[in-house]
Structure 1
Amino acid sequence: MRNDVRRLRTAQELSQQALGAVLGVSRQTVNAIEQGRYDPSLPLAIRIARYFGTTVEEIFHVDDDT
């Protein structure tokens, strides 16, 4: 699954640490999500979308070949 978390985070000039603090997760979790190594739970995906004022579907993109 691809996502736009890094693009959204850097557009707001947030560090991974700062975003993690707002979301209640570690910097390592934010990094893993951005790298595509970790798919967030639905509640976390919703928190991310709400923080950036958008929808889960606009941030997370399911690859068609999976």
Structure 2
Amino acid sequence: MPKLKTHSGAKKRLKISKKGKVIRGHAYMGHLLNGHGKTAKSKRHARGTTVTDKTSVKAVKKMLPYA
């Protein structure tokens, strides 16, 4: 069977944990972090990473075949 290509966007944004969970960053944190509509509370809660919903796991693991 030929090699599979890893999805470029997925490899930059997602990671598989050792237990097989999909780790992602929080949404809406790309830019405008200083006084442009995001409250301190929303920025604080969006710090770090979180686990992806179980409905997306199958698709993500298909995009990251060697992770």
User: Which TM-score band applies after superposition, normalised by the shorter structure?
Assistant: under 0.3
Scaled by the length of structure 1, the TM-score of the pair is: 0.27
Higher strand share: 2
Q: Whose helix proportion is higher, 1 or 2?
A: 1
